[in-house]
Chain A
Amino acid sequence: MAVARSREVTTMNRKAIALVVVAGVALAGLVSVAFFPAGSIAAVVAVVDANYLGAALRLTVPIAFAALGGIFAEKSGVINIGLEGLLIIAAFVGIATTYTVGGGQAAVWIGFAAAVLASTLFALLFAVVTIEFKADQIIAGLAVWLIALGLGPFTARVIWGTVNSPSVPTLNDWTVPVLSEIPWVGPVLFDANPTVYMLLVAVPLSWYALNRTAFGYRVRASGENPRALDTAGVNVSLVRYKSVLISGVFSGIGGAGLALGQVGQFIGSGQTMVGGRGWIGITAYLFGNYNPIATFGASFLFAALDALQIRIQQIPGLDLPGSLVRIVPFVIVIVVLALIGKTRLPSAAGEHYDSDED
């Protein structure tokens, strides 16, 4: 219920409040550090170097790819909350394939391709169930996650006798000559994992595809007013299929990037090695208001917090609970969504489209 007071709070004020709160929450974990032994602040500051930024960028890969995929699906009207599951499937298939093929970078790339294929097939299954058979998108998305959460560790146990795989090689970093010599920027951007380069290409490409291409027009129309698209003579289901498949491909790259770009092992215990990165991807694109570039920024922010958390854990004498730091992205998103309320869901997101009904 609108009250008189709220009329005085203009949108500008709201944004200011939101920014202050976000900054406060983001710093909350760090502020508590001040109460820890002397020298720890210096230790925290010391971890923020080029190495740290590189690590943050690597951690951005799974989050941002899942988020980019989610943007395409949701913009077309299909809410894909199964992104977490797609990441798990991709991570598992990537590791298992690389392990089976065995040896060398070629095997890792084959694993990578298999991971993307597996994730895309899962996305296709999700698309058929939700678009063709009009299942509830939220329930089907949860099913994708739960199936992946069970299937990954189970199959791992079948293959290796335990839910965790042995180590496999990872993708070698690509170093761009000369450019990588630039201080700070060089080591972060030009001496990085191939999946990081892929992300740096995928972000602007996604923006362009959504906002400047005919396909992007149709994706947006399909999520806003599918009937408008249908009466314009475009097949709505086809647009939605393509969009969901894109979310599968992107999530596949994200999951493979995590498994084969960084970790080199499948860890199936608990929430698996993916550990909620697909969910953070959803919050990232909501935070980024479906804009691929802003979404990349949000993903990087969350990844940087994660990286910071890992590093702070390693500082001797500091005992900051990691699980506390890990909730920060979610708190930020709730605060931002509540206070700015700027995120605008596509009008027809989550709705089935049936051209026959009148």
Chain B
Amino acid sequence: MNEPVVELDGITKRFGDVVANDRVELTVDRGSVHVLLGENGAGKTTLMNVLYGLYEPNEGEIRIDGTPREFDSPRDAIDAGIGMIHQHFMLVDPMTVADNVVLGNEPRSRLGFTVDREAAREAVTDLTARYGFDVEPDAVVEDLSVGVQQRVEILKALYRGADILILDEPTAVLTPQEVEELFDIFDELTDQGKTIIFITHKLGEALGVADAITVLRDGETVGTVDTSTTSKRELAELMVGREVLLDVEKPPSSPGDVGLEVSDLTVTDDRGVDQVSSLDFQIREGEVFGIAGVDGNGQSELVEAITGLDVPDEGRVYFDGADVTTDSRRDRIEQGMAYIPEDRQHRGLVMDFELLQNGLLGSQHDPDFAPGGRIDWATLRQHVEDIIADYDVRPPNPDATAKSLSGGNQQKLVAGREFERDPRVVVASHPTRGLDVGSVEFVQEKLVELRNEGKAVLLVSSKLDEVQQLSDRLGVMYEGAFTDVVDPDDVTEEQLGLLMAGQDADGVTSVPAGDFEAEAEVGR
């Protein structure tokens, strides 16, 4: 068992002045699942891209089965038996599973021009039978669920003869059940002698599936630990370099009036298909309403209808009892709606703008910052410097461009800008997606703080632990509607997983989605 198959020795990779990997050491044993754990920007993906031949290291040596190797391109790595499953799938959507699997290594017939589709289909069937997957070779990729698409990616690597599989954050897009299935596939693969390198920043997964865990921080190896002798707390500390609060402190909620109400809301897409169908719920001031669900079940459309980026086809949106369904973004901002968009790089920030200019976005009509239509740069600079200080944005330079910041710092700037407008309603869509543990902690604490100050908070997230910890009530969304609204403290991850897949979960107690009118009347 303890036979090293991959050895990375003193790998250093620089991009200009930035050192992404600094003398990293990694030894992976044959037939094991080896987790590469670290925060975003710790250099995990860079290291694996070096191993896969996408980047050439500046220093260091790669040894496969004890033999030093140099990879100029993925082709070399593939030839050495390495396969990589990227975070963003490398699939051609309109083509079939079999066509995708053989792409680049097509079995040929007739003078070598024609693809032997029968052979391609057989190759897929053989592989699925051997490793116990369930994938239909003739299915078109775009019709498949994300979990199955991921299996197609694994098949691609296996078809190319990979013995060492690198998976880059493979669980980010999966339901808990799909994650379980993926881990079962890991077992099957390692039983048959394959080696798996699994990149993640999720501690629970690392502990659940790994034989050994190597932690990276700031491009350096912090250490390799044996799974059986470590804990979440120790791993978190290794990752961040200081003690981390894994659980957010949250006092009991004392909800007040209804702050945000969505009534019979229906949103259709361009093809006329319902993305949100007849959704009803209310959020009271001083509570966090969480929405859990697999991405693409209508969460984005719901958020767009609430924030005014899209007009719903049917139904109303109320804000403090006032109908805002057709109000513009500007109206909603001025009425006190803060919004953390799910895609901060496209909707939250202008990447080529400086932090200073980004801090103005949404407030460009505010007489404080733009009296008479001319921007008061001095006031703005003071405001942005305050945000940078209060929200610990690094580097603390208002003249840096947004794109020069890490994801976590970009998000802190967006959060600061939105929250400092003193909103009454906060809509946060995947606020901690892709953030490192430290930034996650910060953003989550801020959201709880806003709730404690009596704001109505809508939190949409596909991270179960996050919605479970932060929410006071939790709606589980599937195909545009709630399968159930539950008390987050009274539900297990397994039950949530079933609800997210649109199934019934036994033994779950539902809580009301809304109808707080009477109470609210009294409150007024």
Contacts and interface: CB of A to CB of B under 8 A. Distances in A.
Interface stretch (B72-80, B414-422, B465-473): B72-80
Nearest to B272: A7
B123 interface: no
Contact of B74 (A217, A231, A358): A231
Interface string A223-257: 01101111111100000000000000000000000
Contacts of A217: 95, 99, 102-103, 106, 115
Chain B contact residues, majority secondary structure? loop
Interface string B249-292: 00000000000000000001110100000000000000000000
Contact of A231 (B84, B115, B268, B270): B84
Interface in B84-104: 84, 86, 88-95, 99-100, 102-104
A324 to B, nearest CB: 34
B115 A213 contact: yes
A224 B93 contact: yes
A158 interface: no
A2 B272 contact: yes
Contacts of A231: 74, 84, 86, 90
Contacts of A6: 268, 272
B75 A233 contact: yes
Contact of B95 (A2, A9, A220): A220
Contacts of B90: 225, 227-228, 231-232
B313 A4 contact: yes
Interface in A64-103: none
Interface string A121-158: 00000000000000000000000000000000000000
- In the complex, which of the residues B95, B99, B102 has the most CB atoms of chain A within 10 Å of its own CB atom? B95
A9 B311 CA distance: 20
Interface string B41-60: 00000000100001000000
Interface residues of B, number: 36
A135 B54 CA distance: 25
B114 interface: yes
A280 to B, nearest CB: 26
Chain A contact residues, majority secondary structure? helix
A7 B74 CA distance: 46
B106 A2 contact: no
Contacts of B156: 232
Nearest to B156: A232
B110 to A, nearest CB: 9
A214 interface: yes
A232 B103 contact: yes
Contacts of B78: 233
A232 B157 CA distance: 9
B105 interface: yes
Given A224-B94, A231-B74, A231-B84, A212 B313 contact: no
A226 to B, nearest CB: 10
A74 B179 CA distance: 38
A220 B269 contact: no
A218 interface: yes
A214 B105 CA distance: 9
- In the complex, which of the residues A214, A220, A227, A231 has the most CB atoms of chain B within 10 Å of its own CB atom? A231
Nearest to A216: B115
A232 B75 CA distance: 7
A23 B428 CA distance: 51
B313 A228 contact: no
Chain A contact residues (Cβ within 8 angstroms of B): what range? Answer: 20 to 34
A338 to B, nearest CB: 13
A46 interface: no
A225 B86 CA distance: 13
B103 A213 contact: no
Contacts of B74: 230-231, 233
A97 B269 CA distance: 56
Contact of B103 (A2, A3, A4, A228): A228
B313 A221 contact: no
A358 B269 CA distance: 31
A1 B311 contact: yes
A180 interface: no
A229 B272 contact: no
Contact of B91 (A4, A213, A214, A228): A228
Contacts of A7: 268, 272
Given A4-B313, A7-B268, A233 B73 contact: yes
Contacts of A234: 103-104
A344 B104 CA distance: 24
Given A2-B272, A214-B108, A228 B113 contact: no
Contacts of A36: none
Interface string A1-24: 111101101000000000000000
B391 to A, nearest CB: 27
A70 to B, nearest CB: 19
A220 B74 CA distance: 21
A233 B356 CA distance: 43
Contacts of A160: none
A344 B95 CA distance: 13
B314 interface: yes
Contact of A212 (B73, B100, B102, B114): B114
Contacts of A4: 313-314
Given A212-B114, A213-B113, A232 B105 contact: yes
Contacts of B313: 2-4
A344 B86 CA distance: 26
Contact of B104 (A1, A233, A358): A233
A345 to B, nearest CB: 11
A229 B99 CA distance: 12
- In the complex, which of the residues B49, B106, B156 has the most CB atoms of chain A within 10 Å of its own CB atom? B106
A344 B84 CA distance: 30
B167 to A, nearest CB: 14
B455 to A, nearest CB: 30
B37 to A, nearest CB: 21
- In the complex, which of the residues A225, A230, A232 has the most CB atoms of chain B within 10 Å of its own CB atom? A232
Contacts of B54: 358
18 contacts: A2-B268, A3-B313, A4-B313, A9-B272, A212-B114, A221-B103, A224-B95, A225-B90, A229-B103, A232-B103, A232-B105, A232-B156, A233-B73, A233-B75, A233-B78, A344-B94, A347-B93, A358-B49
Q: Which 6 A-B pairs have the closest CB atoms?
A: A232-B104, A228-B90, A233-B75, A214-B106, A7-B272, A2-B268
Given A232-B104, A344-B94, 13 more contacts: A212-B117, A213-B114, A217-B102, A217-B106, A220-B95, A221-B95, A224-B93, A229-B103, A231-B74, A231-B86, A231-B90, A232-B105, A358-B54
Interface of A: 1-4, 6-7, 9, 212-215, 217-218, 220-221, 224-225, 227-234, 344, 347, 358
